[in-house]
Amino acid sequence: MSADNVYPVPQNVADHALLNRQQYDQMFKQSLADPNAFWAEQADQFLTWFKKWDTVNNSDLAKGHIAWFEGGQLNVSYNCIDRHLEAHGDRTAIIWEGDTPGDTRHISYKALHAEVCQLANALKARGVKKGDRVAIYMPMIPEAAVAMLACTRIGAVHSIVFGGFSPQALRDRIEASECQVVITADEGLRGGKPVPLKENVEKAIDGIAAVHTVVTVKRTGNPVSWSEPRDVWYHEIIDAASTECEPEPMDAEDPLFILYTSGSTGKPKGVLHTTGGYLLQAAMTHRYVFDYHEGEVYWCTADVGWVTGHSYIVYGPLCNGATTLIFEGIPTYPDASRFWQVIDDHQVNIFYTAPTAIRSLMGQGDELVKKTSRQSLRILGSVGEPINPEAWEWYYRVVGDERCRIVDTWWQTETGAIMISPLPGAIDLKPGSATLPFFGVNLELVDNDGNVLEGAVEGNLCITQAWPSMMRTIYGDHERFINTYLSTYAGKYFTGDGARRDEDGYYWITGRVDDVLNVSGHRMGTAEIESALVLHDAVAEAAVVGYPHDLKGQGIYCYVTLMGGIEPSDALQKELSDLVRKEIGPIAKPDVIQWAPGLPKTRSGKIMRRILRKVATNELDSLGDTSTLADPSVVDDLISNRAGQ
């Protein structure tokens, strides 16, 4: 194992942070020793309740029953808006940066309140009741957040489908969660190109009689087909509605939303989250992981179609009274310095993005970053995949000017909130490690037989106690919930991810357990080999999978995307092979290197290794569910250029 770089917390950062190391240690200890007292205290501090709970935690992982704050009542939109009005009504809740530079809006908490109430009233007028499901299929415009909050105000359950999904994927999700209403826009706009959202909705709901209302926001103004009385314009129904709407008191365990996972590993799962526990942990992690100080501008680049957008664009930040930036565009339009320009334009203090974006912008060279100031930045975040140390160092050095703390946050749609992450003022950083668990998160590494592993070791990552923002079920399929997460290691939540714990107790996510290789009896994470490959200047991105190998059990198959302008060659292949050997050891030497102009990714930008595995083993008729693939043509190219073994 190569020696780790450590970036200790500078004293001035510790002094100004919400939590220092001593406080983290003390709170973490209490959170595990006396979870009921700990969470009761946090629930009091972070949320406003209409009625206090009777029991803090009534969960039993072995039985698949999860419940927090039963008997308590609250409303999410009230917590995210109303309670801030008196002291901070004029504060900007949402800064919107449109696809076209300079196209921006500032929405105060007061204005957000009025519009959320209007839409809530309009939905009620269309017959939407507590518990009804509403699909949201929208571009990244403020109305998307308004739609989410309006649902929560009246107790409707939203199910957001990423605006880049096809009509078929949208249809599957609308049917599976039995939505009666769809909220959309005429078109989206990304990188200057229109996205036909309303047209896609038409195709998706064709023949589904249950959908009685489609609300359409006018975004581009281009003509769309229209069918009354089903279709209504967003601006018309809200103009006709009152700006006051009483928030519906919801039980802590009432459903809040359904969200489908990205589909990296198989058929997407409709994850159900409930009200009290989810909101508490979203708010608390947002405050502590990003060390959010009042008045700061916070920007998460995710789409609201992913869980990161739910917890860290809308619910966490607004619950904390923060100013959250919503970005409609893409990182490379009009050019690849867009992120850094937006940071300067809006004086962003905290920036949260994904390794896929960091790696691709790193590939564009430093000049595009360096020509911007970025002086406002204080904290940088990463989420979605393991971040290779090489990309981490670039993020730290070039984007953050060696001044910003980096929080590499590990979590899942299912966990609802960040589970493993550094806290800026408390935890020393190691590039590539998500570091230590958040409060109340009891991690365990187990071997394949379920034996608990102690000390510095690698294994399957489990969580042994329920936490407030844990998913409650897979919508409509509780059995699948139990089988997928709670049965592999009885009584524990199994994440599906592998991890290594080092001598300092730091966690290093090695990738999906299905992707962990066993080469001649040695277990190896794909992330480790990929990180070695991207150390080479010629490599932009790499993905590694295993395939059956007569002698070694499993062989190492590497797909490598080169930097723009670099030509593949046998000499380069040898250099890469030698590099992996040198970095990890002879055992990790690649068996196959295939040049890949592009890698198959989900629409959230994650590499789909399961497809790469199928290509490597030549099982081309069983590629599995490919509906969440961003660009199917990438797969055709990989197949036709398959390397012989």
Chain positions contacting Mg ion, by CB under 5 A: 261
Provide, for the chain, the percentages of residues in helix, strand and coil under a 3-state DSSP scheme, each rounded to the nearest 5: 35, 25, 40
243 annotated to a ligand binding site:
no
The residue written with tokens 């002094």 in the block is 15
Separation between Cα atoms, residue 414 and residue 270, nearest integer Å: 10
Separation between Cα atoms, residue 115 and residue 338, nearest integer Å: 29
Stretch that binds ligand ATP, among 208-216, 229-237, 492-500, 547-555 (CB under 6 A): 492-500
171 annotated to a ligand binding site:
no
Pattern 522-561, ligand ATP, x by CB under 6 A: ----------------------------------------
- Binding ligand ATP by CB under 6 A: which of 31, 177, 200, 262? 262
606 or 614, CB closer to ligand ATP? 606
The phi and psi torsions of 42 (rounded to 5 degrees) equal -65, -40
Separation between Cα atoms, residue 287 and residue 250, nearest integer Å: 24
Q: What CA–CA distances, in Å, run from 429 to 383, 393, 462?
A: 15, 11, 23
Separation between Cα atoms, residue 248 and residue 241, nearest integer Å: 17
- Nearest to 397, CA basis, from 352, 353, 362: 362
Residues of span 137-166 touching ligand ATP by CB under 6 A: none
Stretch that binds ligand ATP, among 31-39, 263-271, 293-301, 584-592 (CB under 6 A): 263-271
255 binds, among Mg ion, ligand ATP, none (CB under 5 to 8 A by kind): none
173 annotated to a ligand binding site:
no
- Nearest to 595, CA basis, from 568, 632, 616, 556: 568
SS3 call for 252: coil
Residues of span 304-363 touching ligand ATP by CB under 6 A: 306-307
22 annotated to a ligand binding site:
no
Give me 82's structure tokens.
């109303």
- Asked if 573 and 538 touch (Cβ cutoff 8 Å), the reply is no
The H or E element that residue 362 is part of is helix 355-362
- Nearest to 234, CA basis, from 369, 141, 105, 166: 141
334 annotated to a ligand binding site:
no
384 annotated to a ligand binding site:
yes
Pattern 376-395, ligand ATP, x by CB under 6 A: -------xxxx---------
191 annotated to a ligand binding site:
yes
261 or 285, CB closer to Mg ion? 261
263 or 600, CB closer to ligand ATP? 263
180 or 261, CB closer to ligand ATP? 261
53 or 439, CB closer to ligand ATP? 439
Give me 519's structure tokens.
């080469």
Q: Is position 303 an interface residue for ligand ATP (rule: CB under 6 A)?
A: no
219 annotated to a ligand binding site:
no
Stretch that binds ligand ATP, among 2-10, 188-196, 260-268, 549-557 (CB under 6 A): 260-268
**Closest residue by beta carbon to Mg ion:** 261
Separation between Cα atoms, residue 372 and residue 536, nearest integer Å: 27
545 or 608, CB closer to Mg ion? 608
Return the number of other C-beta atoms located less than 10 Å from residue 454's C-beta: 9
594 annotated to a ligand binding site:
no
Q: Is position 469 an interface residue for ligand ATP (rule: CB under 6 A)?
A: no
Give me 420's structure tokens.
């493993």
- Nearest to 257, CA basis, from 147, 174, 133, 146: 133
Q: Is position 412 an interface residue for ligand ATP (rule: CB under 6 A)?
A: yes
- Asked if 600 and 612 touch (Cβ cutoff 8 Å), the reply is yes
Residues of span 567-606 touching ligand ATP by CB under 6 A: 606
Q: Is position 173 an interface residue for ligand ATP (rule: CB under 6 A)?
A: no
- Binding ligand ATP by CB under 6 A: which of 198, 273, 338, 512? 512
512 annotated to a ligand binding site:
yes
Separation between Cα atoms, residue 41 and residue 34, nearest integer Å: 11
Shortest distance, CB of residue 265 to Mg ion, whole angstroms?
6
| Half-sphere exposure (Cβ direction) of 268: Cα atoms closer than 13 Å | 27
- Binding ligand ATP by CB under 6 A: which of 434, 542, 556, 588? 434
396 or 467, CB closer to Mg ion? 467
- Asked if 196 and 171 touch (Cβ cutoff 8 Å), the reply is no
Shortest distance, CB of residue 233 to ligand ATP, whole angstroms?
33
376 or 484, CB closer to Mg ion? 484
Omega before residue 229 within 30° of 0, cis: yes
247 or 605, CB closer to Mg ion? 605
The residue written with tokens 């009777």 in the block is 54
Phi-psi region of 521 (alpha: psi -120 to 50; beta: other; left: phi over 0): left
- Nearest to 612, CA basis, from 472, 322, 620, 604: 620
310 or 378, CB closer to ligand ATP? 310
Stretch that binds ligand ATP, among 119-127, 213-221, 494-502, 550-558 (CB under 6 A): 494-502
Shortest distance, CB of residue 262 to Mg ion, whole angstroms?
7
Helix (H), strand (E), coil (C) string for 302-326:
CCCCCHHHHHHHHHHHHHCCCEEEE
- Asked if 48 and 74 touch (Cβ cutoff 8 Å), the reply is yes
The H or E element that residue 216 is part of is strand 213-217
- Binding ligand ATP by CB under 6 A: which of 31, 311, 413, 561? 413
Number of residues that bind ligand ATP (CB under 6 A): 25
Sequence-ordered strand ranges (E) for 122-173: 133-137, 157-160
Q: Is position 264 an interface residue for ligand ATP (rule: CB under 6 A)?
A: yes
Shortest distance, CB of residue 460 to ligand ATP, whole angstroms?
12
Separation between Cα atoms, residue 181 and residue 498, nearest integer Å: 39
508 annotated to a ligand binding site:
no
193 annotated to a ligand binding site:
yes
Shortest distance, CB of residue 497 to Mg ion, whole angstroms?
8
143 or 408, CB closer to ligand ATP? 408
Shortest distance, CB of residue 412 to Mg ion, whole angstroms?
5
- Asked if 480 and 471 touch (Cβ cutoff 8 Å), the reply is no
In the complex, the residues that contact ligand ATP under the rule CB under 6 A are 261-266, 268, 306-307, 383-386, 408-410, 412-413, 434, 495-497, 509, 512, 606
Binding residues for CoA: 190-193, 308, 520, 581
Known binding residues for Mg(2+) are 534, 536, 539
User: Binding-site residues, please?
Assistant: 190-193, 308, 384-386, 408-413, 497, 512, 520, 523, 534, 536, 539, 581
